[in-house]
Structure 1
Amino acid sequence: MDVDPLPGTSSGMTTALVLQTLPKIDENDMMSTKTPKERILELLDLLESHVEKLRKGASQLEEDRDALLSTLDSVRNADLMYDLEDNDRDDVNRYADRIMNRCHTVEVRVLTQRDQMQEEALFQVNHLIDGLVISLKGDGETAKAKCVSYMNACSSNLVQGITDKKFESALLGCTVDDQKKVKRRLQGLLNYFDKLKISTL
């Protein structure tokens, strides 16, 4: 992935600045009262904090990219598009497609470590959400009510209605990172329902 340099710096200089901030171990420090193991562990602790910052930053970039794609999609499906002349609509769609394709050239992925039980729990959660998306075509009101019950399972504060206990049980078996991603996915679905102006019973 190409990264734009900071204003007034080249990409090489930016990399050098980042490297300068990373902790280093001083092999020639004879004045230290710490044992070699303590010094190495201290360095590893600092490096671990840098790794967590890196993961957090990458996760934020991942969210930003998804938000951009979602916004582009909503623009392409906005009611205002139907007020345009055919030629103007084609121009706007080509412009939106160009931006979307450009956005797809950015790949950001933060892997989540899971054990077998967490893998199975995530599979079950995704299976339930996929079923919800499929049911949207048949009964929008029921699908939105189900989505709200799933969302309630992700939060201590009820959105409205009830909590789906089966979904909640599966969600609790997932990693914290996966739980956050599931909540974002459900929020995106709720926003989609609101756009379609589907009212819950």
Structure 2
Amino acid sequence: IDKRVAFLRETASELEDEKRKLYRVLNSIITSDELDSIGEVEREEIKITSHGLLYRLDSVDINLKITRTVTQEKALENVNTFIDKLSDCVKNDRGCAKQLCQTYLSSCSSDHFKPLPVDEQFQKTVIGCSLDDQKKIKKKLQNIFSSL
């Protein structure tokens, strides 16, 4: 039963990720400048279809609750502050953001064979988070890094 519960939680997490990806894709379609290069009828049809899909996507509710201690809550808040700093860096200096993101990712990794710099404060803060949060943090950083 333990394995089935773990599998169910992992599947729910993957579904959350898929929902986020679909939101990004649909929103990028709706706001795309490339729509200006097609006819008005086709453009409106694409926008109507995309909005309809967003509406249907909103009907999907995936609620994976992560149980945290007070200490883990505080650690997650602090990690989010680090990630907010990274997001600001992305807006202002993508080169700096890529380097910072790589450092954060290295801080999340247990692979000590790579000679990459580690942010010890970030690493300590991530370790204070729940295991589920640690996985989500690493995934979030990987997504940010791949977008740079």
Which TM-score applies when normalising by structure 1?
0.61
Cα distance between partner residues in 2 of 1:161 and 1:76: 39
Q: CA 1:153–1:77 in 2, change beyond 3 Å: closer, same or farther?
A: farther
Does structure 2 conserve the Cα–Cα contact (< 8 Å) formed by 1:152 and 1:163?
A: yes
Higher relative contact order, chain-length normalized (CA < 8 Å, sep 6+): 2
Residue of structure 1 equivalent to 2:55: 101
The structure carrying a bigger helix percent of its residues is 2
Structure 1 unaligned runs (5+)?
1-45, 194-201
Does structure 2 conserve the Cα–Cα contact (< 8 Å) formed by 1:152 and 1:162?
A: yes
> Shift of residue 181 of structure 1?
0.6
Residue of structure 2 equivalent to 1:127: 81
Amino acid at match of 1:181: K
**Structure-to-structure mapping, 1:104-115, within 5 angstroms:** 104-115=58-69
> Shift of residue 82 of structure 1?
5.8
> Shift of residue 160 of structure 1?
7.9
**Structure-to-structure mapping, 1:26-105, within 5 angstroms:** 46=1, 48-76=2-30, 81=34, 84-85=37-38, 87=40, 88-105=42-59
Q: CA 1:191–1:84 in 2, change beyond 3 Å: closer, same or farther?
A: farther
- For residue 137 of structure 2, give the secondary structure of its aligned residue in structure 1: helix
Could you give the per-residue CA deviations for residues 84-131 of structure 1, whole angstroms, max 9, x where no partner exists?
A: 236244443333232223212211011111111111111100111012
165, 185, 199: which one pairs with 2:120? 165
Q: CA 1:141–1:68 in 2, change beyond 3 Å: closer, same or farther?
A: same
> Shift of residue 75 of structure 1?
4.5
> Shift of residue 170 of structure 1?
0.6
Does structure 2 conserve the Cα–Cα contact (< 8 Å) formed by 1:59 and 1:109?
A: no
Cα distance between partner residues in 2 of 1:93 and 1:191: 27
Cα distance between partner residues in 2 of 1:160 and 1:104: 43
Which TM-score applies when normalising by structure 2?
0.79
Cα distance between partner residues in 2 of 1:104 and 1:67: 13
Structure 2 unaligned runs (5+)?
none
Does structure 2 conserve the Cα–Cα contact (< 8 Å) formed by 1:153 and 1:167?
A: yes
Using the aligned pairs only, state the percent identity. Answer: 32
Cα distance between partner residues in 2 of 1:90 and 1:142: 39
Q: CA 1:157–1:49 in 2, change beyond 3 Å: closer, same or farther?
A: closer
How many equivalent residue pairs? Answer: 146
Could you give the per-residue CA deviations for residues 150-185 of structure 1, whole angstroms, max 9, x where no partner exists?
A: 111122348884222221111111111001111111
> Shift of residue 57 of structure 1?
2.9
> Shift of residue 77 of structure 1?
6.1
> Shift of residue 72 of structure 1?
3.1
- For residue 26 of structure 2, give the secondary structure of its aligned residue in structure 1: helix
Root-mean-square deviation over aligned CA pairs? 2.7
Residue of structure 2 equivalent to 1:184: 139
Could you give the per-residue CA deviations for residues 28-48 of structure 1, whole angstroms, max 9, x where no partner exists?
A: xxxxxxxxxxxxxxxxxx4x5
Does structure 2 conserve the Cα–Cα contact (< 8 Å) formed by 1:152 and 1:160?
A: no
